[in-house]
Structure 1
Amino acid sequence: MARNSWLFILSMVVLLLAGCGTRVIDGQQVDKKDKIIIKFSHVVEENTPKGLAAIRFASLVRERSKGSIEVQVFPNSQLFKDGEEFEALSRGDVQMIAPTTSKVAQLFPQWQIWDLPYLFDDLDSVHQIIDGPLGRTLLEQLRQKSMKGLAMWDNGFKQLTNNDHPITKPSDLQGLCFRIMSQGILEEQFHYFGADTLYLPFNDVYQSLEEGRAQGQENTISNIYTKNFDQVQSYLTLSQHGFMGYAVIVNEEFWNQLPSQARELLETTLAEVTLWERDIAKKLNDEQLSELQKRNKIKIYTLDSQEKRFWKEDFALVYAKFVQENGADFLNDVKQSIDLAGNR
């Protein structure tokens, strides 16, 4: 990793470990002998937006609870791969996870709304939808599976990489095999243009690209950079075609057994960290794109606004697939909310 990037990551770690004045739990409210342990499992590197946010959350909780609540963070699939996390949460092997919204969509189809290509023009619109009634409604759905959705984090927009040829238009996808993180809309967006797909856990992607089982993948700059995909991919298209978000989820039974003061502290701290994470996501993606350009191992093509409009038009049938599964009213409500958000 380049020296400048290491300095940037180090500065982020210093910031996230710095305490902020806020309410703490009194020692009488949570007995020290009944220390609360929360195992927080996720699948990405520590120096990613999600990884740094998880560390900051754990640090602030420890400080504000005076050590009576300990969030133990297990990054990079140390405990479970992304396809195993929901079951682990259900069993109580972990208490908190932060899967992509695409993973949640395997349980709740309406969550595929976050996967629709070019639905959002910018991250401000995404955040307003997340923070509004729609975001709260989708998080509430998780209770049907004995989970509680606490927050949504983001990692910006996804880009396309492959090792065969530059991708400048949707038809360039034809004949390639792309790794996808879940079925449904993500699968449809590639199949529609004649590409094959391969479902793989995140930590298996590098090897599949290196071995040629998949020729390409979609991901944010942060994940492309921290996983060194530019070492096994030749072309990067800055398409910004889809949002990548994470749902911060806790086992509902575990949550309900916590003292009310502990729940309040966790929710308040997580809300603060969520806003911090959004800023870090943008900074890291910008910083690490610059590092990819400096490394000069991958050829980068940027879609302009007109090209993006053409891509969105070509993805019309993908939207039709979503409507078939979730209804036109739901999609129209979301689009209306996005329009309102854009006018604020």
Structure 2
Amino acid sequence: MAGKRWILVIIILALGLSGCHSRVIDGQQVNKEDKIIIKFSHVVDENTPKGLAAIRFAQLISERSGGSIEVQVFPNSQLFKDGEEFEALSRGDVQMIAPATSKLTQLFPQWQVMDLPYFFDDLESVHQTMDGPLGKALLSQLEEKNMRGLAMWDSGFKHLTNNVHPIIKPSDFDGLSFRVMSPGILQAQFNKFGAEAVFLPFNDVYEALSKGKVDGQENTISNIYTQQFDQVQTYLTLSQHGFLGYAVIVNAEFWDQLPSQARELLEKTIVEVTEWERETAERLNEEQLEKIKKLNKISIYALTSQEKSTWKADFSSVYSKFEKEIGLEFLNEVRK
């Protein structure tokens, strides 16, 4: 019955959205006269690394499938808000999402390893983790919830903004409130130094900052720039204290019902787009930081290497919390 339901979804989407003929999936090939519709929902701007990669993925799939597979991209929470996407994917309202890895920690606690402050030294170490046994093990956990992980994308290293005073040392967090996207490690890293962690969907952050509902937030430069957080915040600390990545996910039941030819094309293309997305993320974060500097709307302080080392040492209790929840053995395996 479940398989028939997915076939019906594809037929309805093809008739209602594309005007093409319906078809029955034979598990082997896609006819040019027919079309598979994949709705790809995400919450950030089109001009971010994720937004641009989603568009590129859609374009390449359209070209390479001869139009028989259509990826429809819905950015900026057009369909579903941050946090609503998992249910939408489960219901079949969308077929593909790319949530921040932090969002997955509520379903799979071991994903919190990606949120540990100063756990990664550079992008190379991030990608080694993502593409290695750990990344594959984390993605495999998604199958427990009828999801299939296809890739892991970059947003970049996170930095801090706030409206009260410069944050140069961890004690400067005391008394401030920061938006976070999920509980757990992200909450602990702020609570450790006397700051309040406030959970808000991504599309609500600008309003919360502009109206003073929270004092600050943590994010990558591309998100700070495209969401114009620098226009409603006074101070930016280039802390590089944590990494923000995305997991590209499809509904497993939908995926398994696709013809093998279609799955192969989607898999090969996502691998290519992932490499492009990571290069784009690094470039955009550098370029957009320069644009923020030129706008001169926000005071910027860059932590020195010594200050980052001090911050990492001060965050040691956050690691202890992770060890208690997940296990020291797992953390040591990741460190290897």
Same-fold status (TM-score > 0.5): yes
Aligned to 2:115: 115
Partner residue of 2:165? Answer: 165
1:206 is matched with which residue? 206
Deviations 1:259-280 (A, max 9, x none): 0010000000000000000000
**1:281-318 deviations in whole A, cap 9, x for unaligned?**
00000000000000000000000110000000000000
Match of 1:317 in 2: 317
**Separation (CA, whole Å) in 2 of partners of 1:42 and 1:34:** 26
| Cα distance between partner residues in 2 of 1:161 and 1:73 | 30
| In structure 1, C-alpha distance between the alignment counterparts of 2:149 and 2:258, rounded to whole Å | 16
Aligned length: 309
**Secondary structure at 2:80 match in 1:** coil
- SS of aligned partner of 1:46: coil
Deviation at 1:100, TM superposition (A): 0.1
Q: State the Cα distance separating 1:167 from its structure 2 match.
A: 0.2
Deviation at 1:32, TM superposition (A): 3.2
**Which residue identity does 2:58 align to in structure 1?**
A
**2:52 is matched with which residue?**
52
Output the CA distance in 1 between the equivalents of 2:203 and 2:61.
28
1:139 aligns with 2:136: no
Distance 1:33 1:68 in 2: 7
Number of the residue aligned with 1:217: 217
Consecutive unaligned residues in structure 1, runs of 5 or more: 1-27, 337-344
Counterpart position of 2:67: 67
For residue 33 of structure 1, report the CA deviation from its aligned partner.
Answer: 4.0
Instruction: Tell me the CA shift for residue 213 of structure 1.
Output: 0.7
Alpha-carbon distance, 1:132 to partner: 0.7
Q: C-alpha root-mean-square deviation of aligned residues, in Å?
A: 0.8
* SS in structure 2 at match of 1:168: coil
Counterpart of 1:157 in 2: which secondary structure? strand
SS state at 2:106 partner: coil
Tell me the equivalent position of 1:300: 300
CA distance in 1, matches of 2:304, 2:62: 45
Deviation at 1:83, TM superposition (A): 1.0
* Aligned twin of 1:97: 97
Q: Which runs of 5+ in 2 are unaligned?
A: 1-27
**Distance in 2 between the 1:314 and 1:61 partners?**
47
**One-letter code of the match for 2:293?**
Q
Amino acid across the alignment from 2:291:
E
One-letter amino acid of the counterpart of residue 209, structure 2? L
Distance in 1, matches of 2:189 and 2:328, equals: 18
Contact persistence 2:29–2:260 (CA under 8 A):
no
TM normalised by structure 1 equals 0.89
Q: For residue 182 of structure 1, what is the aligned residue in structure 2? A: 182
Deviation for aligned residue 1:82? 1.1
